[in-house]
Structure 1
Amino acid sequence: MEIVLAASAGLVLYTYIGYGLLVWLLVRIRGRRQPIDTPAVFTPEVTLIIPAYNELAFLPYKVANSFAQLYPTDRLHFLFVTEGSTDGSDDFLRKAYGASIAVLGGDVRRGKVAAMNRAMQQVTTELVIFTDANTVLNPEAVQNLVNQFRDPKVGAVAGEKRILTNDSESAAGSGEGLYWKYESFLKRLDAELHTIVGAAGELFAIRTELYEPVETDTILDDFIISLRIAGQGYRVAYEPEAYAMERPSFSIIDEQKRKIRIAAGGFQSIVRLKYLLNPFRYGWLTFEYVSHRVMRWAIAPLCLPVIFLANGFLAVQAFLSPSIWAHGWSLLFMLQCGFYGAAWVGYGLEKKQLKWKTLFVPFYFTFMNACILAGLMRYLKGAQSGTWEKVRRADEIRV
């Protein structure tokens, strides 16, 4: 039982701490990547694709934010995908902006991925950038993403996702923001070592010719698209100076639904990308993919209950042992109980919309892993749909 506990704890520590330290060390040993020497002016034609299902309230701000990009206007095209919207988004965009943007509408709701597959059939530009309708981009986002494609080995570029929280924000919002800061740090390291393993749908770019139609029931289309491009032998670069800003989820219940859906999509992705688990063919990509994604989705969450139960067994046995060492298991078990107790209190306060940031680390860590386990159950039951779902956010940001 001690071996089970030690092995499980080791896997969790490697997933959340050890991998980052190891990649940081490898990058330091090898040195930073050297920039590609190319002409200063680099402005290939780009299409900005904005999926916008029932986003009428935010569309004026998203269009204004898109038009404000510091990129040559004759080289940047806009395609809003409003398919299936019932809030008048289609009519609003056509009447308000006319020929300055393209709109892919329709009454039939086939789902986000099916709509994206249709949208890509209309693209004639060299590069495509995907961004969500409820996010705000910094003015240099397009140009900074495009600059990464100076390197012919780069097939996709991920921007940075930033969660905007304020001093009175909920624990879930604060935890989400901290999580994405840590994710951004790991992505910088992954990109320096070889490639990042999965772009965030809020903002990422690809070479149009590398796009492969995605199965329409896919949940994490951004992850699948970017990893399949990496599987073709291209790097997925990371550009932290191109960022998409959004507010945290409206409530803990909304965040819970979102995370369970993402987790179910993670297990779906692992099955569909199982060929990437071959280190003899994919080398560094397999190492990064397994360490950063597979272990976080499929290994660490399963280890946590094993650690708790194994520790509980050893703590009970400690009462029957005269050894001082054995009582260390009791202390460790008490610390675990305290950690999860704090997480439970944090969850209860969050449901009542009460603020106590001291608890958000144990709360968000436990909450995130519990959602992954719930997502696994949903995936195994086949209860997850690929239909486009709109997520409620806290008070929207404006441009």
Structure 2
Amino acid sequence: MPLFVLVALMAMLMLRGYTHSEILADYRVRSAAPADRVPRAIREGGPVIDSRGGRPTTLKVPDGRIVLTFDDGPDPRWTPKVLDALKRNNARAVFFITGTMASRYPDLVRRMVKEGHEIGLHTFNHPDLSYQSKKRIDWELSQNQLALAGAAGIRSSLFRPPYSAQAKAMDNNSWPVTEYIGNRGYLTIVTDLDADDWHKPGVDEIVRSATPERGKGAVVLLHDSGGDRGQTVRALDKLIPRLQGQGYRFQNLTRALDAPSAHTPVTGLDLWKGKAWIFLIDASDNITTVLVAGLAVIGFLVIGRFGLMLLLSALHARRTRARDFTWGPGAPVTEPVSVLVPAYNEAKCIEGTVRSLLRSDHPVEIIVVDDGSTDGTALLVEGMELPGVRVVRQLNAGKPAALNRGLANARHDLIVMMDGDTVFEPSTVGELVQPFADPRVGAVAGNAKVGNKDTLIGAWQHIEYVMGFNLDRRMYDVLQCMPTIPGAVGAFRRSALERVGGMSDDTLAEDTDITMAVHRDGWRVVYAEKARAWTEAPESVQQLWSQRYRWSYGTMQAIWKHRRALVERGPSGRFGRVGLPLVSLFMVLAPLLAPLIDVFLVYGLVFGPTEKTVLAWFGVLAIQFVCAAYSFVLDRERLTPLISLPLQQILYRQLMYVVLLQSWMTALTGGRLRWQKLRRKGGVSAPPAEPARQARPLDERPVR
């Protein structure tokens, strides 16, 4: 479904580009060529060339009659003004329409026919046909007729080649095209007089150029599209009354020649094809308008988010790194902590996880909750026979149930939660619980980092964690509306957990769900940047897809579950007033619209303007690089992984788009997504740190 949506959007853009002469357009114009193969009768004949029977002839407009012709329209601004001028002066004309313009403005074509004007073809994309193959000429004619049929339900036998002039200008390049057009059943109409209005020489000069010798008939070339046609409109109001006063009649071509109408009705399948074409063009223009608006919205959101993150993360760093900074009146926090480690088939990782906790420089009680593992996870931990480590077994019931079981068995009031594949530094637990010195703090988010970042996909996730997650958490901390305590490293007051009913399995993002619940209960949630935890990120596209699909869908579930926070009052309503709208904008709406950046990038690269498109893309990339570099500096990370940032934007980001689209589809269709276990390799370890004393079991420590 997401693939279908993306393909449909690209198809609409392609159709729009097709009808705006951005696709298959050919702007080459021929230079003069010899005319020795053009029959003399054609070069010296009239402007109406009939080569349909193999014996070319020409016709002239009778004396006292003028056929005004307008090329390149219809134009939404100038064609109505031209039609109004003709109506005011009781004149008829011939409009040689292009298929691209007729497809976009069919109502104007219908008005032309309704008011008695004649329609002629002027190709679909306005190329010089002397450069084109017969196949392309046939295509230009058929597409032009398709647009005319859809707009007005008629066909026309009149044709004017783009860039044509008088019959005497016919040469060896244009004549074969005219012959071929005649064999296809068309009359070719050139001109007697060219008003040269496209140069905008002034009203009087246009009138002079469009005035025939006294009494002579003429086909006059004007334009109703292609630029400012104000002089053309004013010239009509001057030219027509003047010549009507001299006895001229302004008629359409077939009336002036006393010939049968050039229009024939279209019925049956051809009519429905035309109507379907006009419908699709209208839909593509409307959808493109919506997409452009969406692009403007996502541009505003992206720039706004980056600006907000840079500003507020700088404020956060300045505040928390000040020498006199303290989390609260109860600092430092030295009371013992219960660490809950839910584990399901974590045999490859659990030993490293537990041993990292034993190296903690803060007193800890370690509770490993085995959630029905089938790989011997519980036996492995028990076989280690480590002091201060307890194993609690249960039938497989899911991570929220495992955490609740651990909470029921915990002895202490401060609860740290982590994943079974995560490794803590010796100082992590101590840094994580320091914010509880403030009695208003109910939960603390730690600094989750990618441990396996040596691969390309790991490096991309490392950039995402440092920039997208931790920079976000600094911003949300300042705004006091942290949306998620990461499952890999987070801490809670027992009382806060108990007041909201503990961990819930209502959503697939139990960490986001509990964080929002704690906010709504009136607690503060903060970010402890020094509480670093190293987690094993997915190492394959399939596993990454599964993880992010669950995250994005779970976040949507949590937002929906806590939607009433939007209308709640008091201190607990701050999250609803600020946090929930920001999370919805930045984590759900913005990623949903973000593919528009790449869709328009591809469109611009293929159809132009290429240079501006490339500059715009590199501009966005530069902004992202600045934000990423700043976040890496704040986290004291090496900048080397940022070398892969451009590739991340091209490949990795597209994967995240499709994941989010699929999550939206699942949510909108009411689908259910089950928990998917990721396969771990157990190769993550914390970076070298200063030697820390070995943690002792709690019963051997003095109570502080």
Q: Judge same fold: TM > 0.5, yes or no.
A: yes
Q: Deviations over 1:173-210 (max 9, x none)?
A: 22211111112112112212324221110000000111
Instruction: Find the aligned partners of 2:413 and 2:435 in 1 and give their Cα distance.
Output: 14
What amino acid is the match of 2:358?
F
User: Counterpart in 2 of 1:348?
Assistant: none
State the 1:152 CA deviation. Answer: 1.1
1:244 aligns with 2:529: no
Taking structure 1 as the reference length, what is the TM-score of the superposition?
Answer: 0.79
CA 1:135–1:101: 2 relative to 1, 3 Å: same
1:114 aligns with 2:401: yes
User: Counterpart in 1 of 2:434?
Assistant: 147
SS, match of residue 121 in structure 1? helix
Instruction: Find the aligned partners of 2:577 and 2:585 in 1 and give their Cα distance.
Output: 12
What amino acid is the match of 1:370?
V
Q: Is the 8 A contact 2:451 2:536 kept in 1?
A: yes
Instruction: Find the aligned partners of 1:109 and 1:64 in 2 and give their Cα distance.
Output: 24
Q: Deviations over 1:186-238 (max 9, x none)?
A: 21122123242211100000001111233335311111111211111211110
Q: Is the 8 A contact 2:313 2:471 kept in 1?
A: no
What amino acid is the match of 2:478?
E
User: Counterpart in 1 of 2:589?
Assistant: 299
CA 1:395–1:49: 2 relative to 1, 3 Å: closer
User: Counterpart in 1 of 2:579?
Assistant: 288
User: Counterpart in 2 of 1:273?
Assistant: 562
State the 1:82 CA deviation. Answer: 0.6
State the 1:88 CA deviation. Answer: 1.5
Q: Is the 8 A contact 1:312 1:333 kept in 2?
A: no
User: Counterpart in 2 of 1:69?
Assistant: 360
Instruction: Find the aligned partners of 1:359 and 1:105 in 2 and give their Cα distance.
Output: 44
Match 1:174 to one of 445, 459, 468: 459
Tell me which moved more, 194-203 or 27-36. Answer: 27-36
SS, match of residue 102 in structure 1? strand
Q: Is the 8 A contact 2:312 2:475 kept in 1?
A: no
Match 1:218 to one of 480, 491, 507: 507
Match 2:392 to one of 89, 104, 122: 104
* Percent identity between the two aligned chains: 24
Tell me which moved more, 278-287 or 118-127. Answer: 278-287
Q: Deviations over 1:91-129 (max 9, x none)?
A: 2323432663221213x2111112222222222311100
Instruction: Find the aligned partners of 2:328 and 2:578 in 1 and give their Cα distance.
Output: 29
Q: Deviations over 1:254-290 (max 9, x none)?
A: 1111111212212211111112333765236532332
Trace 1:16-95 onto structure 2 (pairs within 5 A): 16-22=302-308, 24-25=310-311, 32=319, 35-38=326-329, 41-72=332-363, 76-95=364-383
Instruction: Find the aligned partners of 2:602 and 2:452 in 1 and give their Cα distance.
Output: 38
Q: 5+ residue gaps in structure 2?
A: 1-285, 621-642, 687-704
Q: Is the 8 A contact 2:565 2:575 kept in 1?
A: no
SS, match of residue 105 in structure 1? strand
Tell me which moved more, 19-28 or 375-384. Answer: 19-28
CA 1:328–1:278: 2 relative to 1, 3 Å: farther
Taking structure 2 as the reference length, what is the TM-score of the superposition?
Answer: 0.47
User: Counterpart in 1 of 2:113?
Assistant: none
User: Counterpart in 1 of 2:297?
Assistant: 11
Tell me which moved more, 267-276 or 2-11. Answer: 2-11
State the 1:302 CA deviation. Answer: 3.0
What amino acid is the match of 2:512?
F
Q: Is the 8 A contact 1:267 1:297 kept in 2?
A: no
Match 1:391 to one of 678, 682, 691: 678
Instruction: Find the aligned partners of 1:135 and 1:37 in 2 and give their Cα distance.
Output: 29
Structure with bigger helix share is: 1
User: Counterpart in 1 of 2:81?
Assistant: none
CA 1:398–1:194: 2 relative to 1, 3 Å: closer
What amino acid is the match of 1:174?
A
Instruction: Find the aligned partners of 1:226 and 1:137 in 2 and give their Cα distance.
Output: 21
CA 1:164–1:274: 2 relative to 1, 3 Å: same
State the 1:44 CA deviation. Answer: 1.9
RMSD: 3.3
1:378 aligns with 2:666: yes
Q: How many residues align?
A: 363
Instruction: Find the aligned partners of 1:57 and 1:36 in 2 and give their Cα distance.
Output: 37
Q: Which has the higher contact order (CA 8 A, sep 6+)?
A: 1
Trace 1:341-380 onto structure 2 (pairs within 5 A): 357=644, 358-379=646-667, 380=669
Instruction: Find the aligned partners of 2:312 and 2:586 in 1 and give their Cα distance.
Output: 20
State the structure with more CA Rg. Answer: 2
Tell me which moved more, 372-381 or 119-128. Answer: 372-381
Instruction: Find the aligned partners of 2:594 and 2:348 in 1 and give their Cα distance.
Output: 41
Tell me which moved more, 8-17 or 230-239. Answer: 8-17
Instruction: Find the aligned partners of 2:569 and 2:306 in 1 and give their Cα distance.
Output: 23
1:130 aligns with 2:130: no
